[in-house]
């Protein structure tokens, strides 16, 4: 769903000698910078709310002054950051060729040159690779902008036109473009729309229909629109667009997609805990909508289709979800749904993909905190002839179904990785169950997967609940207590399943352990795990994170005085709250675009995302909810105390966590800091919630952050 106020969990992380320093170097900002900071304080505004006025030139002055303080403090670490950056590049294959994917007429893939931030898209007619041609040059388009991000790309049935959305500021407001393939000129059709696109299946020689979403005043995708296009030889002309559906409830967002069978367009309107699904015939996008799943408070559902049948994954009977089926001819009969897979208290059904031969279901095992892909082969009477889980290469790991555009394919592409194994792509032949590795991400250097070890421990939280904690480190250091980076998220039911990071090797090689606390509020142990860490249960997330920290120490994994906490977006809320409650538990912290002004943000329904998130945090219009949120909101619980070293990142164009949240958090922390550890803020003045759009800039920023992490953990290289 688009409802998530999150940054995807992507931790930015020499294999050589190192030493444990006895004390952190005392980098202190100059008195001039301190003087400037005091100059910005308004006695009549102790909460620094004036920073919320982006039009006030003093706001950008304040952020630039904080950036200058950050740069001055960081200057002694610049050589280390450069070494980390160069080490990361040396490990990575910079020239990348993507997997080829054959559609109906052409085979498509990407090529990223070694010195480029973005890929070029290539194609050839199926079976004719000698006719390869580049049809979309993203480096060329991105060169015109300081920030550049593609929202979506879509091809119509004949694959001769490319429509895409792009964001050139970072505020997640997109423009719609189209071009004739391969060499046609790009034309902008619309501005200020949502990122997603979907072609109907009504293409003729003279035109076709695109569907897209628009925002309301709070940047909530509230409507789906139909855009007819008229084609001539080289250009596409937009005809007047028509409203397909508008959602009036401010807690609901809308999106549009298409079934793999290509027969139906699906319009979903959903809050975080309730959804409604409407149908539109793909070949007749101007036909009336049918409601296949009407909204019921607290009931979530997703829909898939095979000719003759619809499938509904829903939680009406149980939080663990079950799968129902209905004959296509009976969709108007609400009582005609039949249970295909009953709910199971030990697993959560997370997703379903339909093919001509049956279904692939994502099923999460609660006890193992592990997702399995389950294959269900159905006969003509709709009985299961095969019902089995696909084999995993190891546990825990991540196994995902990659793009499978053909409804009748019997060759599934799987993406597999773990904390110690690089991503690889496997082709699974469903007829023979033969697995063939078709691509593995390469890795250079002397720290290879066989030099790493991963383990999982279980922390006991305040109420006796067992919290999984994943750990990865160098195998030769196993059994030693190590400086540790502890990462957490714990919101929106988003799981932190195992992922490999080449950047992370720069920390592991220097004797750092990397740990993930799978706290409640996330989805690692299924839907109940999520529900037990949201709304009135949010306190469990904070208890779990601190319990994970303590377990790392008691199990001999981590040095008690060398644990650094890290969280992004809603993970910044997790870390910020734990810093207020147990600042002595950590030697440092990194908070990326942190959601830290929770109460004030949730009290402002005019901000993007706020109304859609009442079902995640609660609506503070209720005094008891406001009191509960205020009890943990990081910025509302800052007090004079010794805080550890804290690195805070913000983004000027961020529409998910407004730039002023990290800015106000920084200002109030600096006022209350009783110790000597630095509190620093860096605001990227040219990006949004996801940070830098180009890969080299993102890697360089990650290296700077990693240099701070190494400094805070007491690791310096031996020359």
24's enclosing H/E stretch is none
pLDDT given for residue 34 in this prediction: 55
Rounded mean pLDDT, 617-644: 98
CATH of domain 456-713: 3.40.50.1820
Please say whether the beta carbons of 307 and 328 come within 8 A.
yes
Mean pLDDT computed over 551-571:
98
Q: Look-up: residue for tokens 């027969």?
A: 263
- The enclosing H or E element of 298 equals none
pLDDT tens column, 603-613: 999 998 899 89
Q: Which residues pair with 134 in a beta bridge?
A: 122
Could you tell me the pLDDT band of residue 38, with boundaries at 50, 70 and 90? confident
State how far the Cα of 680 lies from the Cα of 278, in Å rounded to an integer. 48
DSSP type of residue 522: B
222-231 contacts: CB < 8 A, separation 24 or more? Answer: 222/246, 222/247, 222/248, 222/253, 222/254, 223/247, 223/254, 224/254, 224/255, 224/256, 224/267, 226/200, 226/285, 226/286, 227/176, 227/189, 227/190, 229/178, 229/189, 230/206, 231/161, 231/205, 231/206, 231/207
pLDDT at 690: 86
Output the pLDDT for position 693: 85
503 three-state secondary structure? coil
- The whole-number average pLDDT for the span 40-47 is 93
pLDDT tier at 652, thresholds 50, 70, 90: very high
| Per-residue pLDDT reduced to its tens digit, 440-460 | 999 999 999 999 999 999 999
pLDDT of residue 372 exceeding 80, the answer is yes
Instruction: Specify the pLDDT at position 151.
Output: 95
Lowest-confidence pick of 7-21, 528-542, 697-711 = 7-21
pLDDT tens figures, 262-303: 999 999 999 999 999 999 999 999 999 999 999 999 999 999
SS3 429: strand
Chain segment 320-329, per-residue pLDDT in tens:
999 999 999 9
Instruction: Classify residue 46 by burial, with Cβ atoms within 10 Å: 0-12, 13-18, 19+.
Output: exposed
The yes-or-no verdict on residue 81 having pLDDT over 80 is yes
Q: Where are the alpha helices (DSSP H) in 511-588?
A: 527-531, 539-554, 570-581
Summarize pLDDT for 374-383 with one digit per residue, the tens. Answer: 999 999 888 9
- Which tokens in the block code for residue 549? 């920290």
pLDDT at 601: 97
φ, ψ of residue 678 to 5 degrees: the values are: -75, 145
What's the pLDDT tens digit per position in 390-419? 999 999 999 999 988 999 999 999 999 999
Please give the Cα distance from 207 to 203 (Å, whole number): 6
Alpha helices in 561-694 (DSSP H): 570-581, 598-602, 614-617, 623-630, 660-672
Structure tokens at 361: 């279901």
Strand ranges in 46-126 using DSSP code E only, listed in sequence order: 96-97, 101-102, 106-112, 120-125
CB of 148 within 8 A of CB of 695? no
Distances (CA, A) of 539 to 301, 474, 533, 639: 28, 33, 7, 19
Query: Would you place residue 28 in the very low, low, confident or very high pLDDT band (cuts 50, 70, 90)?
Result: very low
- The Cα 67–Cα 369 span in angstroms is 40
Whether residue 565 is predicted with pLDDT greater than 70 in this model: the reply is yes
Q: Name the token pair of 545.
A: 């994170």
Strand, helix or coil for residue 272: coil
pLDDT digits (tens, 9 = 90+) for 681-709: 999 999 888 888 899 999 999 999 999 99
Q: What is the mean pLDDT of residues 351-377?
A: 97
The whole-angstrom separation of Cα 232 and Cα 240 is 17
**Integer Rg of the chain from CA:** 26
Does 566 have pLDDT greater than 50? yes
* Rounded CA separation 410/327 (Å): 24
Q: pLDDT at position 635, please? A: 98
Instruction: Supply angle C-alpha 557, 559, 562, rounded to 5.
Output: 125
CB 193 within 8 A of CB 241: no
Residues 6 or more apart in contact with residue 111 via CB below 8 angstroms = 96, 97, 98, 119, 120, 122, 134
Do domains 300-442 and 456-713 share one topology? The answer is no
Report how far residue 505's alpha carbon sits from residue 509's, in angstroms, rounded to the nearest whole number: 6
**Does the pLDDT value for residue 10 go beyond 60?**
no
Residues 6+ apart with CB under 8 A from 413: 99, 401, 402, 403, 404, 425, 426, 427, 428, 438
The model's pLDDT over 125-150, given as tens digits with 9 standing for 90+, comes to: 999 999 999 999 999 999 999 999 99
pLDDT band for position 717 (cuts 50, 70, 90): low
Average confidence (pLDDT) over 429-440:
95
> For residue 512, what are its two tokens?
């750092």
Cα-based angle 273, 279, 283 (whole degrees, multiple of 5):
150
For the entire predicted model, the pTM comes to: 0.93
Distance CA 575, CA 582 (A): 10
Token reading at 573: 């809320």
What are φ and ψ of residue 534, in 5° steps? -130, 170
Mean per-residue pLDDT over the chain, rounded: 93
Question: What pLDDT score was predicted for residue 17?
Answer: 29
Domain ranges in the chain are: 300-442, 456-713
32 pLDDT exceeds 50?
A: no
CATH class of 300-442: mainly beta
Q: What is the pLDDT of residue 33?
A: 47
Q: What is the pLDDT of residue 69?
A: 93
């Amino acid at each position: 769903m688009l409802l998530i106020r999150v940054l995807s969990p992507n931790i930015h992380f020499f294999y050589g000698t190192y030493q444990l320093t006895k004390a952190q170097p005392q980098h202190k900002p100059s008195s001039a910078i301190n003087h400037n900071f005091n100059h910005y304080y308004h006695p009549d505004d102790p909460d620094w709310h004036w920073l919320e006025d982006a039009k006030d030139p003093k706001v950008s002055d304040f952020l630039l002054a904080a950036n200058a303080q950050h740069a001055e403090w960081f200057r002694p670490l610049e050589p280390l950051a450069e070494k980390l950056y160069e080490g990361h590049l040396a490990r990575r294959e910079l020239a990348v060729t993507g997997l080829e994917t054959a559609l109906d007429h052409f085979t498509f893939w990407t090529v990223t040159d070694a010195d480029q931030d973005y890929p070029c898209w290539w194609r050839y007619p199926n079976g004719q690779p000698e006719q390869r041609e580049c049809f979309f040059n993203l480096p060329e388009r991105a060169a015109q902008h300081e920030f550049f991000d593609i929202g979506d790309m879509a091809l119509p049935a004949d694959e001769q036109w490319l429509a895409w959305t792009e964001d050139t500021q970072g505020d997640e407001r997109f423009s719609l473009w189209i071009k004739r393939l391969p060499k046609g000129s790009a034309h902008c059709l619309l501005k200020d729309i949502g990122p997603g696109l979907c072609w109907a299946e009504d293409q003729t020689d003279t035109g076709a229909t695109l569907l897209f979403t628009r925002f309301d005043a709070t940047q909530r995708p509230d409507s789906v629109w139909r855009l007819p296009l008229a084609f001539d030889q080289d250009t596409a002309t937009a005809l007047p667009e028509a409203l397909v559906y508008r959602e009036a409830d401010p807690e609901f967002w809308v999106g549009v997609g298409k079934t793999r069978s290509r027969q139906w367009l699906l319009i979903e309107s959903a809050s975080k805990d309730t959804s409604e699904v409407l149908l539109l015939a793909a070949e007749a996008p101007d036909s009336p909508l049918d409601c296949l799943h009407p909204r019921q408070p607290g009931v979530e559902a997703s829909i898939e289709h095979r000719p003759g049948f619809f499938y509904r994954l829903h939680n009406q009977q149980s939080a663990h979800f079950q799968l129902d089926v209905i004959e296509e001819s009976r969709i108007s009969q609400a009582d005609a749904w039949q249970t295909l897979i009953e709910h199971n208290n030990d697993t959560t059904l997370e997703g379903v993909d339909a093919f001509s031969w049956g279904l692939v279901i994502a099923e999460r095992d609660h006890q193992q905190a592990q997702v399995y892909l389950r294959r269900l082969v159905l006969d003509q009477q709709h009985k299961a002839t095969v019902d089995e889980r696909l084999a995993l290469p190891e546990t825990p790991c991540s196994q995902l179904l990659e793009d499978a555009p053909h409804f009748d394919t019997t060759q599934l592409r799987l993406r597999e990785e773990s904390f110690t194994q690089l991503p690889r792509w496997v082709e699974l032949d469903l007829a023979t169950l033969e697995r063939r590795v078709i691509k593995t991400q390469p890795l250079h250097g002397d720290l290879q997967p066989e030099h790493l070890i991963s383990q999982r421990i279980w922390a006991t939280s305040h109420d006796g609940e067992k919290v999984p904690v994943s750990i990865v480190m160098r195998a030769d250091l196993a059994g030693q207590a190590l400086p540790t980076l502890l990462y957490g998220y714990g919101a929106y039911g988003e799981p932190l399943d195992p992922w490999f990071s080449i950047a992370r090797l720069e920390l592991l090689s220097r004797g750092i352990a990397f740990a993930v606390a799978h706290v409640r509020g996330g989805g690692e142990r299924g839907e109940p795990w999520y529900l037990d860490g949201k709304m009135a249960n949010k306190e469990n997330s904070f208890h779990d994170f601190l319990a994970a920290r303590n377990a790392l120490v008691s199990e001999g994994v981590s040095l008690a005085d060398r644990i650094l906490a890290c969280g992004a977006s809603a993970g910044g809320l997790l870390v910020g709250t734990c810093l207020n409650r147990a600042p002595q538990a950590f030697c440092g912290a990194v908070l990326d675009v942190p959601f830290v002004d929770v109460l004030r943000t949730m009290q402002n329904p005019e901000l993007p995302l706020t109304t859609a998130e009442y079902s995640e945090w609660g609506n503070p219009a209720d005094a008891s909810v406001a009191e509960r949120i205020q009890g943990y909101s990081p910025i509302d619980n800052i007090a004079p105390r010794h805080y550890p070293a804290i690195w805070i990142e913000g983004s000027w164009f961020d529409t998910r966590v407004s730039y002023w949240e990290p800015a106000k958090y920084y200002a109030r922390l600096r006022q209350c800091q009783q110790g000597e550890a630095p509190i620093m803020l860096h605001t990227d003045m040219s990006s949004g919630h996801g940070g830098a759009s180009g890969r080299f800039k993102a890697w360089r920023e990650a290296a700077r952050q990693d240099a701070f992490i190494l400094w805070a953990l007491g690791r310096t290289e031996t020359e």
